[in-house]
Chains A and B, each alone.
Chain A
Amino acid sequence: MKPPPFAYRAPRTLPEALAALAPAAPGTGSDTGGGGVGKVLAGGQSLIPLLNMRLAAPERLVDINRVAELDTLEVTGAGVRVGALARHARVGRSAEAAAVQPLLRRALAHVAHPVVRNRGTVVGSLAHADPSAELPAVLALLDGSVEAASAAGRRTIPAGGFFLGPLEPALLPGELAVSAFFPALPPRTGTAFVEIARRHGDYALVGVAATVTLDAGLRVAAARAGYLSVAGVPLVLDLTAACAGADAVSGGGDWEDAAAYARERVDPESDIHASADYRRHLAGVLTGRALRAATADAIDRAGEGR
């Protein structure tokens, strides 16, 4: 439970960080020692255990904790942009962020425990691309994006293209995820986040993030759900066809069609904590619960003119 040897860089500016991350080319004069693959250290809540168990052996750690320009949280009418150093706790506490995109706060409450949220970062969780984690499912459901920078330039990666596989983000060697963007919630839309974990704060056996949008007559106009722990990447399902037109005021019915739709489309695996069958069953149960809660939330928001 001790990490293998690694070189350590602690840059103070973004350009320095990107230089430190850049694959060291021989003869470039860039700092030497621990060339080869670099790994970003932000909150360290996933990386450090991996190092301690010697499951990861990066040649170089680039600690971005001193790069102040990454410690940002920008909220506009368009959405919430979270910088690479913004901790879960800070984002979760932000009333402005919650007003523009309430799902963020709802999901963050399920991320591990307070001590982890005090240190771990939202962008770090996305870059870790664990399909059992809450934030990738939220980013995917909301069609958000990740801003990546490298010594060569910047690009925006839409959520749909960011999660390539388990623990496999679409970041290239030398690229740093500098921020993530969570779009604002549309009008007459409610959100919910539900999950089942074996213990409080554990990775979910199954989790569902949902958005439900109502029409002017308070009937369900659109319903979408993002699933965690049911596939190798966050799964987003458009459930609109299974529940459109449902009367939100009366609770929207039993949501069984949507639950059945979800059960048919999730593709969970069995592991030591739950069988695939049980996870599939939970995906259905949680689909109903999430849609019910999101619909109730949508009515509340519609009533408040939001």
Chain B
Amino acid sequence: MSTRMFGEPVARREDPRLLTGRGRFLDDLGRDALAAAFVRSPHAHARILDIDVTGALDVDGLVAIYTFEDLPDQVGAPLPVLLPHPALTHGRTARPLARDVVRHVGEPVAMVVAADRYLAEDAAGLIRVEYERLPAVVGIENAEAARDLVHDDVPGNVGAVLLQENGDAAAAIDAAPHVLEFRLAIERSASTPLEGRGVCARWDADDGSLRVYTSTQASTSVRAAIAARLDLPAGKVEVVAPDVGGGFGVKIVHPWPEEVLVPWAARLLGREVKWAEDRREHFVAAAHERGQLHDVRVGFDGAGRVLGLDVRIRHDHGAYTPYGIVIPIVTSTQLLGPYKIGAYRAEVVSLYTNTLIVTPYRGAGRPQGVFCMERTMDRIAGHLGLDRGEVRAANFIQPDEFPYDQGLTFQDGRPLIYDSGDYPGLLRKVRDLIGWDGFGALRAEAAARGRRIGVGLGCYVEGTGVGPYEGGHVEIDSAGRVHVSTGLTSQGQGHQTVFAQIAATELGVPIADVHVTTGDTRRFGYAVGTFASRAAVMSGNAIALACRKVRAKALRIAAEALEADPSDLEITEGEVHVRGDRSASVPLRTVAVLSNPLRYAFDEQTAAATQFAVGGSPSEPPVAAGDEPGLEGRDYYSPVRSTFAAGAHAAIVEVDPDTAEVRVLRYAVVHDCGRLINPMVVEGQIHGGVAQGIGGALYERMVYDASGQLLNASFMDFLMPYATEVPHIETDHLETPSPLNPLGVKGAGEAGVIPVSAVIASAVEDAEGLRVDAMPLSPDELFDLRRRAEHDPALRTRAVNGP
């Protein structure tokens, strides 16, 4: 393959279009569509007594108002639990419009359709809903105390209890020379893509078909859901993800209430209807993540080796469980990271609260698990007076121990078996990158100038590329264009580039000839979706396999034309020729013409392919038995289990002795996602992930008051970091190919965010000599911690340890 693009830092091909305003996002579509707006609950928990729409009826341009009473059974029925799990004994979901009780602020109560969004909101504002307020359950402790219930029929507010166990952790801890016990907390945050959700639906009455554009991470599954709810054959529903302005997990949830209601209204009204979520709606009506409490008990020996680990995880899943309990499942399994833990037990209690639903956000439970394990490693190091890196090294799975079975069941229902990795190599590289061994001198130098700095470290393993499958379709047309399509969606990751690199490399064509389509059910109908760092692994391999089919067919057809043996042929820059000899060749566009015997010629090229022109045997059919016209191929990739990426991060922070402000001076990442398709795209993913991680570590939280009102539902008060808050990120790579897939790749999308809270906590603790048990950490909280530590020695670490 001389047209080698795989592994090259090819500039993102989608960027010129996206950066010059030529993207087509949801709200760019449907300019003449009617607009939908929603009346949403202002209360966290209330019974709906009456909905009076009278005042809204006079609004000019009003088209329709719908409440639950207006919805047919299938439309108004509770939304699905997408990921049922045996442990989720009390799964509950909302209806698209509330029937009698609302359980979080922002829950949709009525839908208004009007000539434009302004009028729709005017009308929505005039609808009077009478509520009887019910006690709100807010916070994990209150949920567990269960003085009030979120759902009458869910005792104790407990949705799920899940146990993960490998060995007898209690016995191992009791027998260990050293035991520590502590609680660790992570606050709520959210994906907060710059583009919110949105749906635009068009009913074609003549064709009896529906086209839906939605800002989703799973267009094929949205199609299935809409088809079922609206009682349409899937073939009559087209779902297209246009350009999507970020997802980060929140757009994998489906169908959203609006994804059911907007298409339903479009069909009912016979008009195009659009809803584009606004920022305030996104804060209160989409989804959050991260909020968990962890009670850790760990037993270890004098070298810092963990002999037993017991973690009790309390997870706040909000008012409903449409996405099951995948987050705490991931926490409880991925918590183990790159380590061999003697015996392990994790108990998850997943609780209902009167807050917004909780569904995966980039990292999806891993940041919490890594925070637990890495804080534990630091605690052990502090307790024993050992170097934090050495304690980690003492626990690492070694490179010759793969495949390594952690003895648990992963989120895909398959055994948690790591396929490959080099964890000591990652640690070595990140220590070198950050200057771990020389940090003592740097610290002393800073201290002499009145500055307070610290260094932190964090390692993680990330299960990526979960199944069950993705597919790819590749077709070469008679102009030599290569059309690649896959069903999973793109939200800005660079799929247009990396999938094209794979196709260009596999087929031996210039990348400029490759055209990639994602997330369009008109082009590819079977897919799972973009989540769990799976696109490159799943669709990347499926596209490679489909390309190989096309390549084989191209060589077979070209061999006839060149009177050569297919095994002697190769493809270079889109031309098939005998290996090492380009004097006789046939371009792929010609092969495409030859592959499709035609009845009619409509241009010069196709004239060469008519049944009268082709020189085949008159006794054989023009399309041989078992063959198909056209130069195309389709294939699927379905892995036996996930592939496990890994990384190590380190940071140097400076803490202001007077104001308690934290500044990240340096941030270093060493990342291993197997074979790199495009190092520049991987680094971009890491940068974005670390930026979100910095947000989670130092800035972002969801501030609910006791009544369940979200107090910071705007970008003024929800502190997403700006470029000014995100440090320069230094990266290095390690490549341990995955033995599980043809390309040897592992996922990279979520990696950057995963260990950041752990790393920053480690660094701040190192700088301050104070225990950091909860993230995010604001200057206000650090100021408070300092004051409390003046009177409470337990809040101080034994000594500032490490390098």
Report Cα–Cα, A200/B726, bound state, in Å: 11
Residue of A nearest to B120 (CB): A2
Residues in B neighbouring A2, C-beta threshold 8 A: 117-118, 121, 278
Residues in A neighbouring B719, C-beta threshold 8 A: 198-199, 202, 273
Q: Mark A277-305, 1 if CB is under 8 A from B, else 0.
A: 11001100100000000000000000000
Given contacts A2-B118, A278-B783, contact A273 B722 (CB under 8 A): no
Report Cα–Cα, A203/B703, bound state, in Å: 18
Would you call B784 and A275 a contact (CB within 8 A)? yes
Would you call B699 and A278 a contact (CB within 8 A)? no
Distance in Å from the Cβ of B63 to the closest Cβ of chain A?
Answer: 16
Q: Is A54 an interface residue (CB 8 A)?
A: yes
Would you call A273 and B118 a contact (CB within 8 A)? no
Report Cα–Cα, A253/B703, bound state, in Å: 41
Say which residue of B125, B281, B660, B780 sits within 8 Å of A4 (CB atoms).
Answer: B125
Within 8 A of B (CB), among A172-222: 196, 198-203, 205
Residues in A neighbouring B784, C-beta threshold 8 A: 275, 277-278
Residue of B nearest to A113 (CB): B722
Would you call B711 and A272 a contact (CB within 8 A)? yes
Residues in B neighbouring A3, C-beta threshold 8 A: 118
Q: Is B717 an interface residue (CB 8 A)?
A: yes
Size category, A interface: 20 to 34
Size category, B interface: 20 to 34
Given contacts A53-B280, A273-B778, A285-B658, contact A200 B717 (CB under 8 A): no
Distance in Å from the Cβ of B724 to the closest Cβ of chain A?
Answer: 4
Would you call B122 and A5 a contact (CB within 8 A)? yes
Residue of A nearest to B787 (CB): A277
Q: Is B279 an interface residue (CB 8 A)?
A: yes
Q: Is A48 an interface residue (CB 8 A)?
A: no
A196, A198, A273 — most chain B CB neighbours (10 Å): A198
Residues in B neighbouring A205, C-beta threshold 8 A: 779-780
Report Cα–Cα, A198/B700, bound state, in Å: 11
Report Cα–Cα, A198/B661, bound state, in Å: 9
Say which residue of B703, B778, B783 sits within 8 Å of A198 (CB atoms).
Answer: B778
Residues in A neighbouring B118, C-beta threshold 8 A: 2-3, 5
Report Cα–Cα, A202/B703, bound state, in Å: 18
Q: Is A274 an interface residue (CB 8 A)?
A: yes
Residues in B neighbouring A275, C-beta threshold 8 A: 780, 784
Q: Is A1 an interface residue (CB 8 A)?
A: yes
Residue of A nearest to B721 (CB): A199
Report Cα–Cα, A304/B175, bound state, in Å: 76
Report Cα–Cα, A241/B711, bound state, in Å: 41
Residue of B nearest to A285 (CB): B658
Residues in A neighbouring B281, C-beta threshold 8 A: 1
Given contacts A200-B722, A275-B784, contact A1 B779 (CB under 8 A): no
Would you call B659 and A199 a contact (CB within 8 A)? no
Residue of B nearest to A272 (CB): B703
Q: Is B712 an interface residue (CB 8 A)?
A: yes
Q: Is B725 an interface residue (CB 8 A)?
A: yes
Residues in A neighbouring B661, C-beta threshold 8 A: 196
Would you call A1 and B699 a contact (CB within 8 A)? no
Residue of A nearest to B661 (CB): A196
Residues in A neighbouring B725, C-beta threshold 8 A: 199-200
Distance in Å from the Cβ of B750 to the closest Cβ of chain A?
Answer: 24
Residue of B nearest to A284 (CB): B658
Report Cα–Cα, A127/B170, bound state, in Å: 65
Report Cα–Cα, A275/B125, bound state, in Å: 35
Say which residue of A49, A54, A196 sits within 8 Å of B125 (CB atoms).
Answer: A54
Would you call A4 and B122 a contact (CB within 8 A)? yes
Given contacts A278-B783, A285-B659, contact A272 B722 (CB under 8 A): no
B279, B721, B779, B780 — most chain A CB neighbours (10 Å): B780
Would you call B699 and A199 a contact (CB within 8 A)? yes
Within 8 A of A (CB), among B379-423: none
Distance in Å from the Cβ of A165 to the closest Cβ of chain B?
Answer: 21
Would you call A272 and B724 a contact (CB within 8 A)? no
Residues in A neighbouring B778, C-beta threshold 8 A: 198, 273-274
Report Cα–Cα, A1/B275, bound state, in Å: 13
Distance in Å from the Cβ of B144 to the closest Cβ of chain A?
Answer: 24
Residue of B nearest to A288 (CB): B658
Would you call A272 and B712 a contact (CB within 8 A)? yes
Residue of A nearest to B705 (CB): A272
Would you call B783 and A281 a contact (CB within 8 A)? yes
Q: Mark B710-734, 1 if CB is under 8 A from A, else 0.
A: 0110101101011011000000000
Would you call A1 and B278 a contact (CB within 8 A)? yes
Would you call B125 and A272 a contact (CB within 8 A)? no
Distance in Å from the Cβ of B266 to the closest Cβ of chain A?
Answer: 21
Q: Which positions in B face A, CB cutoff 8 Å? A: 117-118, 121-122, 125, 278-281, 658-661, 699, 703, 711-712, 714, 716-717, 719, 721-722, 724-725, 778-780, 783-784
Q: Which positions in A face B, CB cutoff 8 Å? A: 1-5, 49, 53-54, 196, 198-203, 205, 272-275, 277-278, 281-282, 285
30 examples of A-B residue contacts, CB within 8 angstroms: A1-B278, A1-B279, A1-B280, A1-B281, A2-B117, A3-B118, A4-B122, A4-B125, A5-B122, A53-B714, A54-B125, A196-B661, A196-B779, A198-B699, A198-B719, A198-B778, A199-B724, A200-B722, A201-B722, A201-B724, A203-B716, A205-B780, A272-B711, A273-B778, A273-B780, A275-B784, A277-B784, A278-B783, A285-B658, A285-B659
Please give me the 4 A-B residue pairs with the lowest Cβ-Cβ distance, nearest first. A1-B278, A200-B724, A278-B780, A274-B780
